[in-house]
Amino acid sequence: METIGKVGEMGIYSITSPSGRMYYGSSVDIPERWDAHRQALAAGRHGNKVLQRTADKYGVENMRFRVEERVDDYQRLIEVEQQYIDSIWGKHICMNLVPQAGKPPMGEIATKLLKQAWARPESKARKSAASKAVWERDGHKEARAAKISAAHSTPEAKAKLSAIAKEVMSRPGVKAKHSASVRAALSSPEVKAKISAASKATFSKPEARAKLAAVGKKTWECEAYQAKQAAATSDSWNNKEVRRARQMRHRVSVTIAGRTFEFKSVPEAFNVFGIFEQGVKTNACIRFRTALVAEGHKVYVDPEGSAYHFSIVESRKL
């Protein structure tokens, strides 16, 4: 990609494809105008569809941008641009959509007029009323939902939607903006209550619970998924701060021989009573702690028959 020009430089520029097709334009700030072209082409939303298709074919990075002529007089800018457009208009190499310099394509003009029309309050009210009338027809919602579901259920459609979502989320700032909007929405008590009610209603149905269980079982049967989860868990436990936070999450009480003691964590209690030294491995400790958290109370019996009654006193958030 060839780029020539200084910030604030005024004049005529061209965009040329590897095949030799050309587009002429003018600007009071050529580098800034090229940035706008490049961003629109990269996002697939350029107003000039011929230029967009060409960039899609060869890649935006392979489009050559250069300054054709510097113009010092603003009043002559359109006049000079017109001379350049005239030199290629009607030829196969021309990618300009209109023969007049400084005028947008008819599609852009029509879009602008349509937006202005729909911005009027009376137009918005008419459109809203018509839309409501359509959606209130018997069977319309169900038919529409079934049509969308059928269209999105094919492997090709799923792959296409996934690719689009990945491309959108890869754009600078989109992921952060999306995360911020989701967090803001979920911070609302009304939204939380609505989501909770919807989840409860869904999972109260036996078929929904069975479907979820089947999906979870199928996922965990995948060896690659198991390996990925095991690696992620191992990596997280290798982080000293994460490991300590998890170990200190639950304060417990332990009763033995009628006496009760309190500890900051399960591992601390195990260490004090020397349970680790009595043959309990780390994995066994984790399984014991997991069961204790789930049940709230659990008894550990050592090889000598002594019973340690563990109870959760407090659970802290990570």
For 163-190, write each residue's pLDDT tens digit: 888 888 888 788 888 888 888 888 888 8
Name every residue whose Cβ is closer than 8 Å to that of residue 85 and which is 6 or more positions away in sequence: 24, 94, 96, 99, 100, 101
For 103-126, write each residue's pLDDT tens digit: 655 444 455 556 676 778 887 888
Q: How far is CA 106 from CA 2, 33, 99, 284, in A?
A: 30, 21, 11, 73
Give the global pTM.
0.36
pLDDT of residue 280: 46
Q: What is the pLDDT along the chain (318 residues), one digit of tens a residue?
A: 444 444 468 899 999 999 999 999 988 888 888 888 999 899 888 989 999 999 999 999 999 999 999 998 888 888 999 999 999 999 999 999 888 887 655 444 455 556 676 778 887 888 788 888 888 888 888 888 888 888 888 888 888 888 888 888 888 788 888 888 888 888 888 888 888 888 888 888 888 888 888 888 888 888 888 888 888 877 877 888 877 777 777 889 999 888 999 998 888 888 888 775 444 456 677 778 888 888 889 998 888 888 999 999 887 765
pLDDT of residue 279: 43
Contact 282, 271 (CB under 8 A): no
User: For the CA atoms of 43, 48, 52, 58, what is the dihedral angle to 10 degrees?
Assistant: -130
Query: Domains plus CATH for the chain?
Result: 11-108 (3.40.1440.10), 243-315 (no CATH)
pLDDT of residue 230: 81
